[in-house]
Structures are given as C-alpha cells and as structure tokens.
Amino acid sequence: MKQFRVKIITPFGQYFDNDVDYLEVRANHSVLGILPGHAPLVSTLLISKMRIRINNAVFTYAIGGGIIYVKEDQTILLLDSVENASDIDIDRALRALERAKARLDEKDESIDVARVYSAINRATNRINLYNEFNKK
C-alpha cells in the first residue's frame, strides 16, 4: 500500500516523523481522514483523538489541538500536545479534571474561563481515550 510522510511537531520538539498509511484527526466541523495523495489542506484541529495506521497497526493519541498542513507528499501537524493512548496517566488526568472544575466553582473574576474549559476538554479527552484504549 502506498504511504505518505507524517511529521508531528509540538512545543517540545519533533514527536513523530514516519511514513503512514492513514491519518485521522478532528477539525472544526468534521473528522479528516488523510490518505496518500490527499488534496492540499490547511485546517485547525480540535482537542480530540488522533489515529495513525502503519502497516495495519493502529496507534491512537490524545491531541491538544493545533494545525494540520497537508501537501502532496507529506502532512505536518503542529500540535499543542500529543500523548499516546497507552501512555496516559489516568490518575493525573482525573486530578487535572477535578482541578479545572474546582476553578469554575471559584467566584474569582480574574479566572480565564476559556482556559479552564480548555483544561476540562483536554482532561476529558485523555480520560475518554484511556477508557477506550483499556476496554480492548
């Protein structure tokens, strides 16, 4: 099967650089399934699940949003964060969710509500992915 190059870059550096069969990510209004020869595309990505298939093996990741750039022979993802489903620390994710929810309960007007909701979304995404991954 034909493959294409995927590069994933985070604020901490390059996370992934490999040939893949298929990439699936969530953009603002749809799930994007990227195959070799996909039309050029630039889009923002949501906090969500990402799947990569390489030689019939599927790898699942929690991503913290970002940007995807698809060109003829490669796809570049600039992600705020990425974590393999098998590496998710569920206790840490649960604590992060509780901390974020507690911040919403505070009556402090200086709270950045958008940032708190983003933290809730990231933690919930990681928890859901952990649960999905550990059902197998």
Q: What is the pLDDT of residue 130?
A: 95
Element (H, E) at 120: helix 113-133
CA distance 90 to 13: 24
Predicted local distance difference test score (pLDDT) of residue 64: 95
Predicted pLDDT of residue 40: 95
* pLDDT at residue number 136: 56
How do strand 57-71 and strand 74-79 relate by DSSP bridges?
antiparallel
Q: Are strands 31-34 and 82-84 parallel, antiparallel or unpaired?
A: unpaired
Q: Which two tokens stand for residue 117?
A: 């909701």
CB 121 within 8 A of CB 101: no
Write out the chain's pLDDT in tens, 136 residues: 799 999 999 999 999 999 999 999 999 889 999 999 999 999 999 999 999 999 999 999 999 999 999 998 899 999 999 999 999 999 999 999 999 999 988 877 788 889 999 999 999 999 999 999 888 5
Rounded to two decimals, the pTM is: 0.89
Rg (CA), the chain: 16
- DSSP per position, 8-57: EEETTEEEEEEEESEEEEEBSSSEEEE-TTPPPEEEEEEEEEEEEEETTE
